[in-house]
Amino acid sequence: MSENESKPIQKESKHTTLYVILGALVVGLIILCVIFARQRSQMQEMVEILELEKEELTDEYEDLSIQFDGYQQMDVHNDSLQEQLAIEQQRVRDLLEELRITKATNARRIAELKKELTTVRKVMVEYVRQIDSLNQTNARLTKENQHYRRENQQIVEQNTQLTEENTVLSETVTRASRLEVIDFKTTFLNIRDKKTKQFSKIHKFQFDYTLGKNTTCEPGMKTVYLRLTRPDGEVLTKSNSPTFAFEDGELQSSMAQEIEYSGEELASVMYWTVEEILYAGDYQVDFFAEGQHIGTFSFNVKK
């Protein structure tokens, strides 16, 4: 073969080698592009998974925060436990805030926050157990207190009933032992102490009264007070009219009389001298003795 014939063959060989190399490069580049696209797709899928995991973790933290809010609002009668709940609640809030600002691609911190969530949950379980125990104890104590209150109420009611019965008994005994005016009569007298019916000649009122028999009343000297009230409601008195005790106070009498009472029926009389202007109308006479009202009567003066 001549030298001129060998040169085209060599050129053709070089071109072939170049095409082969270029083909190999193109194939390699295509392979690299495929690998890169696949890796990019996998990375995107991983980011999406991390985003979803972050969202789920955020939801769990928010649920936990709401649970802590609920327990904080409960009436837990334990200051130490309330304080611990407040600390853990703030811890959850801080972790939740950190989680919100943490990028989903920060897988390491996301994993740490997930681990923290597990720890807080365990703590909450313990607090729930303590709260349940306290609630059970409080429920038991409340039931016992209700039982004791019912018993105390029964005792109070029994004591009240006994007190009322004793009061009634005491009042009964008091009524039974007090004096009582059982009969009363008014007579009008003139200046000569003779009976009269003429309005202008009335000089005295003669009050005849009778104390009833009462063997339960202690015998001895008694003071009987009489209050004379004229038709306009004014109690008639004189300068020497005594006062007497009645219902935690003092009353003014019109006159008083000392008698010796033995327990048997006793008749007596009092006189009222008319020294003031005489009114026509209905007069009232009230008797008192030993701090008790023992009779009320009335009479009429006509013109």
Instruction: Please check whether residues 112 and 221 belong to one and the same domain.
Output: no
Domain interval for residue 76: 10-134
Strand order, beta sheet including 266-273: 181-189, 204-211, 266-273
Identify whether 174 is part of a domain. no
Residue 224's H or E segment, with its range, is strand 220-229
Residues 14 and 126 in one domain: yes
Residues 130 and 17 in one domain: yes
109/106 Cα distance (integer angstroms): 6
Residue 146 included in any domain = no
- Cα 241 to Cα 176, 186, 272: the distances in Å are 29, 20, 11
pLDDT tens, per residue, the chain with 303 residues: 545 555 565 666 776 777 778 777 777 777 776 666 666 655 556 666 667 777 777 777 777 777 767 666 665 556 677 777 777 777 777 777 777 777 767 778 777 877 777 777 777 767 667 776 666 776 777 787 787 788 878 888 887 887 776 665 455 445 566 899 999 999 999 999 999 999 999 999 999 999 999 988 899 999 999 999 999 999 999 999 999 999 989 999 999 999 999 999 999 999 999 999 999 999 999 999 999 999 999 999 998
- CA distances from residue 115 to 54, 57, 94, 129, 166 in whole angstroms, order as listed: 13, 10, 15, 22, 75
Helix 107-177, helix 79-101: angle, nearest 10 = 150
Beta-carbon count within 10 A of 228 CB: 20
Tell me the C-alpha distance between 137 and 144, whole Å. Answer: 10
Same domain for 75 and 186, yes or no, is no
CB atoms within 10 A of CB 242: 12
Same domain for 223 and 120: no
